[in-house]
């Protein structure tokens, strides 16, 4: 289990639901999570990466690989 904040957990769960779709843009994540800025999304995404909850696929844009808990 990843040690995630409440907001990170919400975003992680949302990304898991969309795992078989094209990776969402920061704007799509911002709207879905009701966050005021894309920089807030950036912080959440990179926090998830640091905790091992997600990875980025090299050489591909908008590619987030959700890791299992």
Q: Which domain holds residue 13?
A: 6-66
Helix axes 38-50, 6-17, angle to 10 degrees: 90
User: How confident is the model at residue 59, as a pLDDT?
Assistant: 86
Rounded Cα distance between 62 and 27, Å, is 11
User: How confident is the model at residue 61, as a pLDDT?
Assistant: 82
User: How confident is the model at residue 1, as a pLDDT?
Assistant: 67
List per-residue pLDDT tens for the chain, 69 residues long: 689 999 999 999 999 998 777 788 999 999 999 999 999 999 999 999 999 999 988 888 888 889 987
Rounded Cα distance between 66 and 48, Å, is 9
Structural domain includes residue 30: yes
User: How confident is the model at residue 31, as a pLDDT?
Assistant: 96
Task: Report the domain count for the chain.
Answer: 1
User: How confident is the model at residue 2, as a pLDDT?
Assistant: 82
pTM for this prediction: 0.85
- Region of 59 please: left (phi>0), alpha (psi -120 to 50) or beta: left
Structural domain includes residue 1: no
Structural domain includes residue 17: yes
- Domain with 35 in it: what CATH number? 1.10.10.10
């Amino acid at each position: 289990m990843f040690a995630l904040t409440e907001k990170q957990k919400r975003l992680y769960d949302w990304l898991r639901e969309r795992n078989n779709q094209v990776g969402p843009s920061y704007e799509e994540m911002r709207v879905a999570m009701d966050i005021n800025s894309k920089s807030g999304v950036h912080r959440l995404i990179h926090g998830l990466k640091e905790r091992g909850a997600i990875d980025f696929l090299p050489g591909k844009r908008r590619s987030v690989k959700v890791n299992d808990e």
